[in-house]
């Protein structure tokens, strides 16, 4: 983050659990770090996954509370809900949280995980007009049409195809 930060020597805890007393003593903190992927395991529904996350944090100390501004950015891999193709995309999210300075630990990992979980697109499409896969033969219809009979394309067609 800021190259001029007075606190650039502060050792950012890998699990992002900051001791409130440290933050108060320093009168605030600006820091950034790359997150170890093990903290993000299972956050997205497979096969979607987070590949890389960097976190930037700014702690401001007020009389009774600590304000934390955070920016989370990185790369994730998501699957198209129609054609099942995997796409790698960049993302960036921000959050703003207030903590009482009476609590012992400021658990930023919790907020980061929550922010990332909320950012997951439930039905991601590789493009708005993705044609998807043929439910009968599995052909990617974005690439080429298939020769299945159109009348077979009922909601049950996919099932029928499986038990042939």
Written as six digits, the tokens of 104 are: 């012992």
Q: For residues 65 and 52, give the distance between their C-alpha atoms in angstroms, rounded to a whole number.
A: 31
Q: Nearest approach, Cβ of 82 to Zn ion (angstroms)?
A: 5
The piece of 30-38, 109-117, 133-141, 154-162 that touches Zn ion (CB under 5 A) is 133-141
**Sign of the four-CA dihedral 36, 42, 44, 45:** positive
Contact residue for Zn ion among 23, 66, 78, 134 (CB under 5 A): 134
Contact between 35 and Zn ion by CB under 5 A: the answer reads no
Q: Which of residues 12 and 136 has its CB atom nearest to Zn ion in the complex? A: 136
**DSSP 3-state of 55:** strand
Contact residue for Zn ion among 30, 49, 82, 113 (CB under 5 A): 82
8 A C-beta contact, residue 77 and residue 94: no
Q: For residues 91 and 121, give the distance between their C-alpha atoms in angstroms, rounded to a whole number.
A: 11
Q: Which of residues 24 and 130 has its CB atom nearest to Zn ion in the complex? A: 130
Any idea what DSSP says for residue 44? S
Size of interface with Zn ion, in residues (CB under 5 A): 11
Contact between 113 and Zn ion by CB under 5 A: the answer reads no
Q: How many CA atoms lie within 13 A of 89 on its CB side?
A: 16
Q: Which of residues 54 and 130 has its CB atom nearest to Zn ion in the complex? A: 130
Contact between 80 and Zn ion by CB under 5 A: the answer reads yes
Contact residue for Zn ion among 61, 67, 109, 130 (CB under 5 A): 130
Q: H-type helices in 3-155, by residue range? A: 20-26, 108-119
Q: How many CA atoms lie within 13 A of 157 on its CB side?
A: 14
Q: Nearest approach, Cβ of 26 to Zn ion (angstroms)?
A: 48
Contact between 136 and Zn ion by CB under 5 A: the answer reads yes
The residues binding Zn ion (CB under 5 A) are 80, 82-83, 126, 130, 134, 136-137, 139, 146, 148
């Amino acid at each position: 983050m800021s190259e001029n930060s007075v606190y650039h020597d502060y050792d950012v805890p890998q699990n992002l659990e900051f001791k409130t007393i440290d933050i108060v003593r320093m009168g605030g903190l600006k820091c950034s770090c790359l997150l170890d992927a093990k903290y993000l395991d299972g956050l997205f529904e497979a096969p979607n996954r987070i590949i890389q996350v960097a976190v930037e944090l700014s702690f401001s100390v007020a009389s009774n509370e600590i304000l934390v501004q955070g920016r989370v950015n990185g790369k994730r891999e998501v699957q198209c809900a129609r054609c099942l193709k995997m796409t790698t995309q960049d993302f960036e999210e921000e959050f703003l949280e207030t903590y009482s300075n009476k609590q012992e630990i400021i658990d930023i990992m919790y907020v980061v995980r929550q922010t990332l979980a909320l950012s997951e697109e439930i039905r991601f499409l590789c493009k708005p007009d993705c044609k998807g896969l043929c439910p009968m033969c599995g052909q990617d219809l974005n690439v080429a049409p298939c020769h299945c009979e159109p009348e077979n394309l009922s909601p049950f067609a996919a099932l029928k195809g499986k038990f042939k």
